[in-house]
A and B are shown apart, each in its own frame.
Chain A
Amino acid sequence: MIWFLLRRLALTVPTFIMLMFVTFMMIRLVPGDPIEVRRGERGITPERLEQLRHEMGLDQPIWKQFLDYVWGLLHGDFGTSIVSKTPILHEFLTLFPATLELTFCAMLFAGLIGVPAGVLAAVKRGSVYDQTLMGVALTGYSMPIFWWGLILILVMSNTLGLTPVSGRVDLIKFYYQPVTGFALIDSVLSGQKGAFGDAVRHLILPSIVLGTVPLAVIARMTRSSMLEVLEEDYVRTARAKGLSVRRVIGLHALRNALIPVVTSIGLQVGTLLAGAVLTETIFSWPGVGKWLIESISRRDYPALQGGIMLIAACVIVVNLIVDLLYGLINPRIRHAK
């Protein structure tokens, strides 16, 4: 197992170097630079532009800028944001828990509903339930996130008053300093009555919105995977042995059917970590997706570069965990490796 882990980790090194190089170059290929973008209508004289570019090191040859960046990275320095002048790692670590919390809740929502729905659809194949569910899943998959978020706010918050519109906490009723950055934990640590419930209420809509597409994917994948597994000899044997339907499906079929689903969940988590931009924007969720998009519009090169590298590291870790889970679910894979 340790060798397997080490081998997987070693494989990530060239991936990282390539990623670092490609993102570094691509970011700088985008027209405009941080100084010009910041100036707007006011403009800037060519002399002052040169002076500021020099102060930021942007007048150096690009290969030198790259080597400086790599050198800094090797020393654990992800650079400093051009806009806020704070270290990238600090900014990332401040915002990442919010994204992680939202991603976790969205995946929980997607998994808890998607897997049973998929299993039920497979078991009742061809029924009205199956067709309805797959229709709904297709709709969910093609749902425009922005529209979906706004509709939910309009109905759930503005019309029914069931959930807050956006943010992570009721700003008037509660005030606590972030300790872990996870609102669910910080609200408990604050010791304020009702804070945890408030944090949960704030998570409901963004989790549903972010979890809608993964839910659709998981439901569809569980269904097709289950259908495949239900045709297998060992399932037929289990049935022939007279095992209960619940045992056949739950133990024999589902465990094997989950293997591709787990892979899909791993990939989805990777996408959500960096791709929750729209959800974070609609729900004023202070996460890394929105931060990265703002960094693009402000041409905050160090924030963008550092953010991408750190997200990539997280995605790689998630994929590693998925590989390990694979082994746990399916011993054949574990032994083969």
Chain B
Amino acid sequence: MTSRNLFRIALLASSMLIAGVANAKSLVYCSEGSPENFSPSMNTTGTSFDAARPVYNKLVEFEPGTTTPKPALAEAFTISDEGKTITFKLRPGVKFHSGVNGFTPTRDFNADDVLWSFDRMWKPDHPYAKISGGSYDYFNDMGMPDLLESITKTDDLTVVMKLKEPNAPIIANLAMDFATIQSAEYADFLLKKGTPEQFDQIPVGTGAFSFVDYQKDAVIRYKAFEGWAGKPKIDDLIYAITPDPTARYAKMKANECQVMIAPNPADLEAMSKDADINLMSQAGLNIGYLSMNAQKPPFDKLEVRKAIAMAIDRDAILKEVYQGAGQKAKNPIPPTMWSYDDSTVDWEYNPEKAKEMLKAAGVENLKTDLWWMPVQRPYNPNAKRMAEMMQADLAKVGIAAELVSFEWGEYRKRLQAGEHQLGLLGWTGDNGDPDNFFFLAGCDKDGKPAGQNISKWCDAKFNEDMVKARSLSDTEERTKIYQEMQKLHHDGVAWLNIAHSTVFEPVRKEVQGYKISPFGSHEFQNVDIAE
């Protein structure tokens, strides 16, 4: 071969390489922080879940952009008539990522991986139970240890989950990130190598993207994986860790990233006018509320709670605090959720009537505290301003409210202990099941408020209904019960519903197929970039 031919071949090869690089589609997502690790079973933050989600799958997953669970690693599942046995038929031929951290899988995904993943969170003698701290908050919070009787396999592609009692929300629970399925073979590989802690730092899964690299506080890289659901439309997925929302927006404008998390509310107007940006929005799966401690006089009196509900001008709060990006709430569950009762008649704003009701209840010159959260949340973008507005409203009906706040962890702990009289808090749904909201006003069997019930409001019928609804699998029947519970919640003023906020997500105009998740999560397997 002559040198000229060699040169030609080299030129051709390099131009093919360049063409390959140029043709590779990359999507940069401006995230806001570093993940704690890449094992969702151990995490509690959206940032960490977002970082692990491209790599993994669950038995069931939420249809993108909805709260509806659909089969994923389990291609089908059946629930027994008494509601206590769920049989998962696993998808055959599902491959794990190969070549990550020197690991080459020798087998496809099977029931052992499912058992391994749940046992790690459940059984203290599991070889990985204590690795990386061994705290499985979500698994415990969703009541799984109390609910699970057993998880067994009948063959490589069949898993049977037995429950101690029927539980309708279980399928939605299993679509949550904590129930991610990880590779038992990879775990063994690392255990033999003597580096089990790498399991949570260098993830191997069955997801649409395989893990490439993570540089703390800087970047996470993934590449497309042709797995069971097909190859994603983009080749490289890059998370650019960008903590400041204004900098994220500047990066979007400069096309340094194409999707960003959590825009600054002050930038929304500019974004909506920006020709390069598509400002997507969706009603948030959340509720911001004012808790009135029903165990502390005078808020133990229903009439007083009703008077407070009528004394507060929530329309003004919606305009000022949410800048109109939200909806006044009349129920504890958002209107996008099934079983929402639109017939609820909301409390009217009527300070005069509120004053009369307070007088009738024997409450005059009341002094109270009013707690505001020290953090910004999707359901409450500015708790301090909200508290100030409420303080002014309460003053109009003769109530002197003193504003109180603490460091966030301390604030939550003290609210849970019931130290407050009036306090602001809220909730963002985890799994789209109404039970995931109603439990916030629940009490235990002895009639004592459960941990998340900061209003300390206990209603026997409400609790009875909640337990009953969990045991039913028929959605229509559950809907009836939940509508009844919304009535009880409203009439008993379990708390004052303030607003369901709207969630915004700016994406570049070139981005196609991106859907906002009601849970605030970010998924890219169906996303494409226009040429």
1/0 per residue, CB under 8 A from A, across B130-149: the answer is 00111101001100000000
Q: Are B410 and A166 in contact (CB under 8 A)?
A: no
Q: CB of B213 within 8 A of chain A?
A: yes
Number of B positions contacting A (CB below 8 A): 53
Give the contacts of B200-246 with A (CB-CB under 8 A).
200-201, 213, 215-219, 221, 236, 238, 240-244, 246
| Cα(A299)–Cα(B137), bound, Å | 18
Q: Are B251 and A85 in contact (CB under 8 A)?
A: no
Contacts A32-B409, A281-B244, A284-B241 given: A166-B37 contact, CB under 8 Å? Answer: no
Q: Are B250 and A153 in contact (CB under 8 A)?
A: yes
| Cα(A94)–Cα(B141), bound, Å | 34
Give the contacts of A157-195 with B (CB-CB under 8 A).
157-158, 161, 164-168, 170-172, 175, 177-178
Q: Are A83 and B254 in contact (CB under 8 A)?
A: no
- Give A147 Cβ to nearest chain B Cβ, in Å: 11
Q: Which residue of A lies closest to B426 (CB)?
A: A41
Q: CB of B253 within 8 A of chain A?
A: yes
* Contact partner, A40, options B34, B221, B412, Cβ 8 Å: B412
Q: Are A290 and B217 in contact (CB under 8 A)?
A: yes
Q: Which residue of B lies closest to A45 (CB)?
A: B451
Q: Are A38 and B215 in contact (CB under 8 A)?
A: no
Q: Are B409 and A39 in contact (CB under 8 A)?
A: yes
Q: CB of B293 within 8 A of chain A?
A: no
Q: CB of A91 within 8 A of chain B?
A: yes
- Give A20 Cβ to nearest chain B Cβ, in Å: 24
- Residues in B whose Cβ lies below 8 Å from that of A153: 247, 250
Q: Which residue of B lies closest to A32 (CB)?
A: B409
Q: Are A172 and B243 in contact (CB under 8 A)?
A: no
Q: CB of A323 within 8 A of chain B?
A: no
Q: Are B409 and A95 in contact (CB under 8 A)?
A: no
Q: CB of B269 within 8 A of chain A?
A: no
| Cα(A31)–Cα(B215), bound, Å | 31
Give the contacts of A102-151 with B (CB-CB under 8 A).
150
- Residues in B whose Cβ lies below 8 Å from that of A98: 218
Q: Are A40 and B408 in contact (CB under 8 A)?
A: yes
* Contact partner, B406, options A31, A48, A52, A161, Cβ 8 Å: A31
Q: Are B133 and A40 in contact (CB under 8 A)?
A: no
Q: Are A30 and B254 in contact (CB under 8 A)?
A: no
- Give B202 Cβ to nearest chain A Cβ, in Å: 12
Q: CB of A196 within 8 A of chain B?
A: no
Number of A positions contacting B (CB below 8 A): 54
Q: CB of A286 within 8 A of chain B?
A: yes
| Cα(A36)–Cα(B425), bound, Å | 16
- Give A250 Cβ to nearest chain B Cβ, in Å: 42
- Residues in B whose Cβ lies below 8 Å from that of A291: 216-217
Q: CB of B44 within 8 A of chain A?
A: yes
Give the contacts of A62-106 with B (CB-CB under 8 A).
82-86, 91, 94-95, 98
| Cα(A157)–Cα(B216), bound, Å | 25
* Contact partner, A172, options B26, B140, B413, B451, Cβ 8 Å: B26
Q: CB of B332 within 8 A of chain A?
A: no
Q: Which residue of B lies closest to A150 (CB)?
A: B246
Contacts A158-B250, A172-B26 given: A36-B410 contact, CB under 8 Å? Answer: yes
| Cα(A45)–Cα(B453), bound, Å | 12
Give the contacts of B476-509 with A (CB-CB under 8 A).
none
Contacts A154-B250, A158-B254 given: A38-B44 contact, CB under 8 Å? Answer: yes
* Contact partner, A283, options B28, B247, B253, Cβ 8 Å: B247
Q: Which residue of B lies closest to A81 (CB)?
A: B36
Q: Are A95 and B28 in contact (CB under 8 A)?
A: no
| Cα(A111)–Cα(B132), bound, Å | 45
Q: Are A43 and B451 in contact (CB under 8 A)?
A: yes
- Give B236 Cβ to nearest chain A Cβ, in Å: 8
Q: CB of A282 within 8 A of chain B?
A: yes
1/0 per residue, CB under 8 A from B, across A199-219: the answer is 000000000000000000000
Q: CB of A325 within 8 A of chain B?
A: no
Q: Are B253 and A42 in contact (CB under 8 A)?
A: no
Query: Could you show 7 A-B contacts with beta carbons less than 8 Å apart?
Result: A39-B44, A42-B452, A85-B132, A168-B218, A172-B26, A281-B244, A286-B215
Instruction: Rank and list the top 6 A-B pairs by shortest CB-CB distance, nearest first.
Output: A36-B409, A32-B409, A286-B217, A37-B409, A286-B218, A31-B410
Other A-B contacts than A41-B425, A157-B254, A167-B218, 17 sampled, CB-CB below 8 A, are A31-B407, A37-B409, A40-B44, A41-B452, A48-B140, A83-B36, A84-B37, A98-B218, A158-B254, A166-B242, A166-B247, A166-B250, A167-B219, A167-B242, A167-B256, A282-B247, A284-B242
A binding-site residues for B, Cβ under 8 Å: 30-33, 35-45, 48, 52, 55, 82-86, 91, 94-95, 98, 150, 153-154, 157-158, 161, 164-168, 170-172, 175, 177-178, 281-284, 286-287, 290-291, 294, 299
